[in-house]
Amino acid sequence: MSNKQFDVVVIGGGPGGYIAAIRAAQLGFNTACIDEWKNAKGGPAPGGTCTNVGCIPSKALLQSSEHYEQAGHHFAEHGISLSNLSMDVAKMLARKDAVVKQNNEGILYLFKKNKVTFFHGRGSFVKAGGIGYELKVSGANEEVIEARHVIVATGSNARALPGVPFDEQNVLSNDGALRIPEVPKKLGVIGSGVIGLEMGSVWRRLGADVTILEALPTFLGAADEQVAKEALKVFTKQGLKIQLGVKVNEVKNGAKGVTVSYTDAKGEAQTLEVDKLIVSIGRVPNTNGLNPEAVGLKLDERGAIVVDDQCRTNLPNVWAVGDVVRGPMLAHKAEEEGVAVAERIAGQHGHVNFDTIPWVIYTSPEIAWVGKTEQQLKAEGRAYKAGSFPFMANGRARALGDTTGFVKFLADAKTDEILGVHIIGPYASELIAESVVAMEFKASAEDIARICHAHPSLSEATKEAALAVDKRTLNF
Ligand code: FAD
Ligand code: NAI
């Protein structure tokens, strides 16, 4: 029997892969997607890290824990009194699993709708041959298929501390951090990056005593300094014990918990005893089982697939997108690359603007930004104007009872073009979209300042921050 043949085969069904497959199918290509993720019953669970152990479940737990915190600490301000408030962690985790399942099923439905052939199993290169490349699918059955174009979207895995493997019982990656069966009394987190802050917040809200150990002396170095400073102040006030400039020397995983020996910023030896330890020190590109050597697919020293700015690898008609290539490890970046590659295969001009990829940290307050930070502009020697507006002066924020933070605009000193927007505050994740659109259209701060924003809305803080660039705020 001859091999099944496809115009496009996507290896990996995360946000990069499944979106690439859908777009390729929309463009008329006979498309397949291979993904190996298994649900608890061994069935298919497309959606990758993002859907299964990343974006979606973390946001489900952030929502549940935020409700609990609101009920415990803020409902009373509204005249709502509660007694016997309790948290059923098993139910919270079951709800999170149900949300994940809905997303897995949604992707399988989208594959059907768009006529994408789905293979549940591991995809690997066999050789260049047939109509382009021969790929092996190893699942319940094993078969070889052929592809004219291959898009590799195999994602990333959590980085472990050297010599400290994840057991997912005590030493947890993002996977274990999303399914701790009961609230730990003491939780340690290594790394105060995005996962450390989001997952640390979840378990802190539910009652854990959380200590975060960060190697760098600066907090949230990628964010605007003013935002990072405000965030550190607020998170510390909330009870997260964040220690910067530490050196982790040893982690002992014992029957009763985990002991972390470290040197603090003053150079003093310290130990931290915790019930559970989340290690969130970044992620590594994943090409496990892909067999890139079979076709000579080039990887860099970090194990990432080498691509050009159009996601072309060193091999003809083999493309790679998402976490497995350079650039920020974000779901929306992976999706944009997936769409762009499908369009390039179709001879169109797919594009991804790396300068306008938004960043969001879903803590409370949320943190979001797009474009350059003030420290980057200073380092570049660029002449800029800055303006900010506090949520304290925004009517909607006061009505919400959530007035922490501000919106900050950075604009070119001469042309007024928006160079960066930084938000810390309520719904920053949603508010940032306006600034992304504005920057894509090369808008000036004055453009935003002249647009009518609904009242009362948080988006008025964006307009006011744009006005602040020329010292013309109306409500502050
Ligand atoms: P992945 O999502 O990792 O998908 C890769 C898929 O390929 C997986 O299903 C894997 O099983 C499969 N695969 C790998 N090798 C093979 C093979 N040989 N054959 C078949 N299948 C294979 N990003 C955001 O933008 N917003 C967020 O809020 C956010 N939250 C996050 C929270 C956490 C806790 C974590 C860990 C990450 C978060 N991210 C977030 C990052 C986001 O999850 C990733 O950037 C995104 O999933 C990358 O998509 P991808 O398609 O490149 O890879
Ligand atoms: P990260 O890169 O965000 O943060 C890692 C932190 O660990 C850094 O501050 C780093 O200095 C620190 N670190 C590294 N080695 C250390 C060590 N030995 N000891 C102490 N600290 C150390 O990585 P994280 O949090 O693991 O997340 C991985 C990626 O997942 C993120 O970069 C992001 O791309 C993605 N993500 C995105 C989210 C979002 O968009 N909301 C949410 C969660 C993850």
Q: Give one DSSP letter per residue of 264-317, joined into a string.
A: -TTS-EEEEEESEEEE-S-EEE--TTS-GGGTT--B-TTSPBP--TT-B-SSTT
What distance in angstroms lies between residue 214's CA and the mean position of ligand 2's atoms? 10
How much is the pLDDT for 429? 98
How much is the pLDDT for 249? 98
Give the Cα separation of 364 and 55 in Å (integer). 16
- For residue 213, the ligand 2 atom closest to its alpha carbon is 20
Q: Is 123 annotated as a binding residue?
A: yes
Query: At 66, is the secondary structure helix, strand, or coil?
Result: helix
How much is the pLDDT for 256? 87
Catalytic annotation present for 455 = yes
The mean predicted confidence, pLDDT, of the chain is 97
CATH of 171-281, one of 3.50.50.60, 3.90.650.10, 3.30.70.260, 3.30.70.380: 3.50.50.60
| Superfamily name and number for 356-469 | FAD/NAD-linked reductase, C-terminal dimerisation domain (3.30.390.30)
How much is the pLDDT for 2? 84
Q: Is-contact 223 191, C-beta < 8 A?
A: no
Please report which confidence band the pLDDT of residue 53 belongs to, taking 50, 70 and 90 as the band edges. very high
- Report pLDDT digits (tens) over 424-468: 999 999 999 999 999 999 999 999 999 999 999 999 999 999 999
State if pTM tops 0.95: yes
Determine which residue's CA is closest to atom 46 belonging to ligand 1.
331
Residues forming CATH 3.30.390.30 domain(s) in the chain: 356-469
In the predicted model, what is the mean pLDDT of residues 15-23? 98
How much is the pLDDT for 255? 86
Pocket of ligand 1 (CB under 6 A): 11-17, 34-37, 48-50, 54-55, 58, 122-124, 153-156, 174, 195, 286, 289-290, 322-324, 329-332, 334, 362
How much is the pLDDT for 1? 66
- For residue 329, the ligand 1 atom closest to its alpha carbon is 45
Q: Is 130 annotated as a binding residue?
A: no
Determine which residue's CA is closest to atom 34 belonging to ligand 2.
329
- Report pLDDT digits (tens) over 104-153: 999 999 999 999 999 999 999 999 999 999 999 999 999 999 999 999 99
Report the half-sphere exposure of 449 (CA within 13 A, side-chain side).
22
Q: Is 405 annotated as a binding residue?
A: no
What distance in angstroms lies between residue 2's CA and the mean position of ligand 2's atoms? 46
Pocket of ligand 2 (CB under 6 A): 161, 190-196, 198, 213-216, 248, 280-283, 328-330, 360-362
| Residue 253 φ then ψ, to 5° | -100, 100
CATH architecture of 4-158+284-352: 3-Layer(bba) Sandwich (3.50)
Three-state SS string over 311-334 comes to CECCCCCEEECHHHCCCCCCHHHH
Give the Cα separation of 74 and 66 in Å (integer). 11
In the predicted model, what is the mean pLDDT of residues 321-343? 98
- Report pLDDT digits (tens) over 178-209: 999 999 999 999 999 999 999 999 999 999 99
Q: Is-contact 394 460, C-beta < 8 A?
A: yes
Residues forming CATH 3.50.50.60 domain(s) in the chain: 4-158+284-352, 171-281
